[in-house]
Amino acid sequence: MKICEKEIMELEKSCRMARMYGNYIKKTPCFIERQRYQMLMLNELEHAAYLISIIRKKLDENFFRQEREFTLEELAGFNGADGKPAYIAIDGVVYDVSNNPAWGGGTHFGVVAGTDATMEFKSCHKEQVLAKLQRVGVLKNI
Ligand code: HEM
């Protein structure tokens, strides 16, 4: 199921209902009935506003959770300099080393952040070290 599909369908339904009540309000000569439809229309609009806030929240969360695809040029921008995050690629996977004490300032034993350091990593570390790092994306296949 696509993201927010249920909420979007519900939102469409609320909008349809609100429009229908709006039409009743225009056509109904009876004051009491008009007031009743106004109440119903207001309920639908309030529900629609609530659904929009849920959709917005879900989309924001999804955006931040989503993995990015990086070209080597894009990766180079994440070198830890001037407050930028420090990312490093190993075997096509991009990791965030910004908050790792061993990577202060975006450098680590001569290796600089913003690069593919697969070779250096393999000559210095075992796989387990990567489990400590936050994965932020993958390198684009070009
Ligand atoms: C030139 C090759 C490298 C050498 C000689 C090297 C050496 C070291 C050493 C000695 C430590 C321990 C530092 C300490 O405890 O203060 C360390 C930690 C670490 N290194 Fe490297 N490293 C190399 C390359 C890399 C690369 C390419 C990565 C990429 C991910 C990496 C990721 C880490 C991490 C995440 C830690 C912290 C581990 C922990 O928190 O226990 N290293 N490295």
| Domains with residue ranges and CATH for the chain | 5-65 (1.10.287), 68-139 (3.10.120.10)
Alpha carbon distance 69, 58 (integer Å):
21
pLDDT recorded at residue 105: 86
pLDDT digits (tens, 9 = 90+) for 5-29: 999 999 999 999 999 999 999 999 9
pLDDT, average across residues 38-54: 97
- CA of 92 from ligand 1 middle (Å) equals 18
Q: Is the pLDDT of residue 1 over 60?
A: no
- CA of 73 from ligand 1 middle (Å) equals 24
> What's the whole-model pTM score?
0.63
- Of 78, 96, 109, the residue with max ligand 1 atoms within 8 A of its CB, to mutate for a pocket test, comes to 109
**Which amino acid is it at 70?**
F
pLDDT digits (tens, 9 = 90+) for 60-118: 777 666 778 999 999 999 999 999 999 999 999 999 999 999 999 899 999 999 999 99
Query: Is 68:137 a contact under the CB 8 Å cutoff?
Result: yes
Spell out which residues line ligand 1, taking CB within 6 angstroms: 88, 90, 95, 97, 100, 102, 108-111, 117, 120-121, 124-125, 129, 132-133
